Amino acid sequence: MMDKTLELIDESDRGSVIVAAALLEDDIGELLQKVIKSHNISTKHIKDMFGLSGPLSSFSSKILICFGFGFISKEIFDDLTKIRKLRNKFAHSSEKVDFLSADIEDHVATINCCIDASKHFEGSMFKSRKKTLSADQPRLEDWEARSSGYIKYTKSVFCLGVNILRQKIRSFDLS
């Protein structure tokens, strides 16, 4: 699973959030499918449930069903909901959205798995807060930072937090 975290870090900021949400949606979808299959539901009915117009077609509905049936904790439910909202912000914004934006930093700072990840972070922190750039001083692009050996702190914590969250989801025991 660490390989997926490294892949997330290698994505653009927008890509990291969108791919992370897709991975988490797949994880809770697999969890739901295991539960449904354990009740001998036909493959056709399972496809209908998860299909385009099925009741489990959206990330939001999968999160709600997992929580409603007790497959995930309130903390995981909250994290998935916040990541879903973050995904929507990155996916549907026509403006540049990145991990150096103050509102994104604030949003990530409220996600429990990211808070957990930040406790284990050993690198130096660089946040955009309190850094005002003059008009002639362009903001460092992600590729420029990475070529100098830097990764954005909030992006790192987000990617590591997603890894923690995926492990929690995958540890659910059906018995």
Assign residue 71 the CATH number of its domain.
1.20.120.330
The Cα angle at residue 7 between residues 64 and 19, in degrees rounded to 5: 30
Structural domain count of the chain: 1
What is the per-residue pLDDT for 133? Answer: 46
**pTM across the whole model:** 0.83
Question: Are 5 and 163 spatial neighbours (Cβ–Cβ below 8 Å)?
Answer: yes
Residues (pLDDT < 50) of the chain are: 1-2, 126, 130, 132-133
In a domain, 122, yes or no: yes
CA distance 157 to 48: 36
pLDDT digits (tens, 9 = 90+) for 100-130: 888 999 999 999 999 999 888 776 554 555 4
What is the per-residue pLDDT for 121? Answer: 73
What is the per-residue pLDDT for 126? Answer: 47
In a domain, 142, yes or no: yes
In a domain, 175, yes or no: no
CA distance 41 to 29: 15
**Cβ neighbours of residue 31 under 8 Å, at least 6 residues apart?**
66, 71, 169, 170, 172
Structural domain for 51, as ranges: 2-170
